[in-house]
C-alpha cells in the first residue's frame, strides 16, 4: 500500500500544548492560562507549565524529528508570545519561532505553521474575545507581523486550527477557554473566526504574494441512530451544519448554507454578518487541512445531558447514543472507515481542493515496560487503520496530499490536562525525558517506505 510519490508525512503539535515557559521572554497570558487557573476547569488542575518544555528543548526535539525522518512539522505560534496584549510586537517571541524554523530547515523538515491554535491573548478576551468583531482585525495584524518576519522561509501558512472548538467549546458549552456558556456569543465567535481567517489570509498574501494559505477544520461524518426517524435526520442535518458546513461553505463557497442561516437566526448569526464579509471569508485557499478523530452518531431522543450548556447551539437536545465500538483513552469511538467517505464528500462537494490530514491520532494509557519500552501496538493499529481509510480515498480519486500524526510528543490535552497521551514519543513530565514509543519507529518506517509497504 504505497502513497503518491509526493505525499507529505508529518507530525503535529500546538504551542500551548507543548511549549511550557508561559512567562518567558515577554509572553503574556492567553485565555488558556486564565482558564487553567479556574477551579475545576482542567483535569488535575493542570496548567500550561511545564507541558513538554519544548520552548527550551526545541533543538533536541527537532533533532528527534530528523532522526525519525519526519517530512513536515505542523506547529502553531503563540499569539501572546508575538503580540503581548494584542499590541506591540514582541521581537523575543518571534525570535523563538525563527530559531525553530531555522532548526527545522537545517534538519530537512518542512515547517508548517498555524497562526492560531486557541491561545488568544487574555487581553483581547477582556475586550470581548472572539465575540468582538475587532478581534478578527487584530488577528490580521498579528498574521502580518509574523509573516513579515518569517515569510521568507515558510511556504505554507495555516490561519486557524479547528475554529469549531474555539467558538462552540469556548463560548457555547464552556468546556474550553474562555469557558463561556452563551449560545449567541458562540455564534458571533464562529463568524468572527471565519472573518479572521479571511482577513488573515489576505494579510499573509499581501506580505508574501506567493504564499500558500489554508485553514484546518475538525470535520465529523454524521450518522443517525434510527434511519427510520425523520427527527434523527433533521438533527443530523443540523449537527452537520453546525460542525462542518458552517465553516466549509463560507470558506470554500463564500456563502453560509441557507439551512444554517435559518437554524442560527434566533442566535443572531445574520446580525453579525456585515455586507462583504462572506466575500472576505471566501478568499481562495490553496488547501484544506482536515483533522479527523472519529465520526458522530446522533439521535433526536434527549438524554441526561440534554438541556445543559451545549456546543450544539440550536440543537441542545441532540444526544449521542453509545455504540458498541472500541474506545480510546479519551472515550472516543475508534471508527476509521468513515474517514474515506468524509474525504470523498469533500472531493465531491468542493472540487479541485487539495486536502491534507493535518491531525489524526489517539490517546491510550501507555505503559512503560520493565525494560523502559512502550509497546503501544494499539496506537500502531489505530494509525494503520486510518492510513488504509485515507489510501482508499486516494484510490477513489481524492487529492489527498499528506498525513500528519497528532502528536509528536505527549502533551497538554486541553481540559483533560496531561492525563491523555497522544504522543509517538513519551514525555516524563517530571524529568522531561523523551522516550520514543514503538509507534514512533513504526511510523518512521511508514514515512521511509511512503506507506504500508509489504504490510497488505
Distance CA 434, CA 421 (A): 13
Report yes or no: 177 and 118 within 8 Å, Cβ to Cβ: yes
Cell numbers for 253, please give them.
Answer: 463557497
Give Cβ neighbours of residue 181 (< 8 Å, ≥ 6 apart): 171, 172, 173, 174, 309
Query: Nearer to ligand FCB by C-beta: 122 or 218?
Result: 218
The secondary structure of residue 220, as a DSSP letter, is: -
Give Cβ neighbours of residue 97 (< 8 Å, ≥ 6 apart): 77, 81, 82, 113, 146, 150
Tell me the number of residues near ligand FCB by CB under 6 A. 12
Helices and strands in the chain: count of H runs, count of E runs = 18, 12
User: Is 413 noted as a catalytic residue in this protein?
Assistant: no
Report yes or no: 262 and 329 within 8 Å, Cβ to Cβ: no
Q: According to CB under 6 A, which residues from 195 to 234 bind ligand FCB?
A: 218
Query: Nearer to ligand FCB by C-beta: 100 or 280?
Result: 100
Q: According to CB under 6 A, which residues from 125 to 184 bind ligand FCB?
A: 161-162, 165
Assess 406 for contact with ligand FCB (CB under 6 A).
Answer: yes
Least Cβ distance, residue 330 to ligand FCB (angstroms): 7
Ramachandran area for residue 317 (φ above 0: left; ψ -120 to 50: alpha; else beta) = alpha
Q: According to CB under 6 A, which residues from 257 to 296 bind ligand FCB?
A: 291
Query: Nearer to ligand FCB by C-beta: 200 or 451?
Result: 200
User: Is 456 noted as a catalytic residue in this protein?
Assistant: no
Query: Nearer to ligand FCB by C-beta: 145 or 167?
Result: 167
The per-residue DSSP string of 370-385 comes to: TTS----HHHHHHHHH
Assess 30 for contact with ligand FCB (CB under 6 A).
Answer: no
Judged by CB under 6 A, which of 41, 124, 413, 434 binds ligand FCB?
413
Assess 46 for contact with ligand FCB (CB under 6 A).
Answer: no
Judged by CB under 6 A, which of 14, 68, 124, 252 binds ligand FCB?
14
The per-residue DSSP string of 336-350 comes to: -THHHHHHHHHHHHS
Judged by CB under 6 A, which of 359, 366, 376, 384 binds ligand FCB?
359
Which segment (99-107, 221-229, 366-374, 406-414) binds ligand FCB by CB under 6 A?
406-414
Distance CA 424, CA 380 (A): 10
Annotated catalytic residue, options 19, 162, 311, 413: 162
Binding mask 419-438 for ligand FCB (x = CB under 6 A): ---x----------------
Enumerate the active-site residues.
162, 359
Give residues in contact with ligand FCB (CB under 6 A). Answer: 14, 17, 161-162, 165, 218, 291, 359, 406, 413-414, 422
Amino acid at each position: 500500500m504505497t502513497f503518491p510519490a509526493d505525499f507529505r508525512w508529518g507530525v503535529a503539535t500546538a504551542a500551548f500544548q507543548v511549549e511550557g515557559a508561559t512567562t518567558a521572554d515577554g509572553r503574556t497570558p492567553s485565555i488558556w492560562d486564565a482558564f487553567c487557573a479556574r477551579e475545576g476547569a482542567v483535569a488535575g488542575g493542570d496548567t500550561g507549565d511545564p507541558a513538554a518544555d519544548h520552548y527550551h528543548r526545541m533543538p533536541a526535539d527537532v533533532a528527534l524529528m530528523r532522526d525519525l525522518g519526519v517530512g513536515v512539522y505542523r506547529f502553531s505560534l503563540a499569539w501572546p508570545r508575538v503580540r503581548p496584549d494584542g499590541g506591540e510586537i514582541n521581537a523575543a517571541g518571534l525570535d523563538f519561532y525563527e530559531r525553530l524554523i531555522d532548526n527545522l530547515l537545517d534538519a530537512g523538515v518542512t515547517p508548517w505553521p498555524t497562526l492560531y491554535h486557541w491561545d488568544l491573548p487574555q487581553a483581547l478576551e477582556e475586550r470581548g474575545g472572539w465575540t468582538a468583531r475587532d478581534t478578527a482585525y487584530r488577528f490580521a495584524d498579528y498574521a502580518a507581523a509574523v509573516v513579515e518576519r518569517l515569510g521568507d522561509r515558510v511556504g505554507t501558512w495555516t490561519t486557524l486550527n479547528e475554529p469549531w472548538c474555539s467558538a462552540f467549546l469556548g463560548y457555547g458549552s464552556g468546556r474550553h477557554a474562555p469557558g463561556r456558556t452563551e449560545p449567541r456569543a458562540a455564534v458571533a465567535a464562529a463568524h468572527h473566526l471565519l472573518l479572521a481567517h479571511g482577513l488573515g489570509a489576505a494579510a499573509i498574501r499581501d506580505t508574501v504574494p506567493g504564499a500558500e494559505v489554508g485553514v484546518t477544520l475538525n470535520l465529523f461524518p454524521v450518522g443517525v441512530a434510527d434511519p427510520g426517524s425523520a427527527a434523527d435526520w433533521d438533527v443530523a442535518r443540523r449537527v452537520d451544519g453546525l460542525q462542518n458546513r458552517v465553516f466549509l461553505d463560507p470558506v470554500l463557497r463564500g456563502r453560509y448554507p441557507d439551512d444554517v442561516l435559518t437554524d442560527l437566526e434566533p442566535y443572531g448569526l445574520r446580525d453579525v454578518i456585515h455586507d462583504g464579509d462572506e466575500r472576505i471569508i471566501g478568499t481562495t485557499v490553496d488547501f484544506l487541512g482536515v483533522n479527523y478523530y472519529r465520526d458522530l452518531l446522533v439521535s433526536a431522543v434527549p438524554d441526561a445531558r440534554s438541556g445543559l450548556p451545549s456546543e450544539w447551539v440550536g440543537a441542545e437536545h441532540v444526544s449521542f447514543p453509545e455504540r458498541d465500538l472500541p474506545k480510546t483513552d479519551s472515550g472516543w469511538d475508534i471508527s476509521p472507515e468513515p474517514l474515506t467517505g468524509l474525504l470523498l464528500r469533500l472531493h465531491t462537494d468542493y472540487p479541485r481542493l487539495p486536502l491534507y490530514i493535518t491531525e489524526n491520532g489517539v490517546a491510550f494509557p501507555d505503559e512503560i515496560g520493565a525494560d523502559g519500552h512502550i509497546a503501544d501496538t494499539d496506537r500502531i493499529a489505530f494509525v494503520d487503520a486510518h492510513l488504509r481509510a485515507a489510501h482508499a480515498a486516494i484510490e477513489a480519486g481524492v487529492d489527498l496530499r499528506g498525513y500528519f500524526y497528532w502528536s509528536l510528543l505527549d502533551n497538554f490535552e486541553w481540559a483533560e490536562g496531561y492525563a491523555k497521551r497522544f504522543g509517538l514519543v513519551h514525555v516524563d513530565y517530571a524529568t522531561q525525558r523523551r522516550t520514543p514509543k514503538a509507534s514512533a519507529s513504526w511510523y518512521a518506517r511508514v514515512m521511509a517506505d511512503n506507506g504500508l509497504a509489504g504490510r497488505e
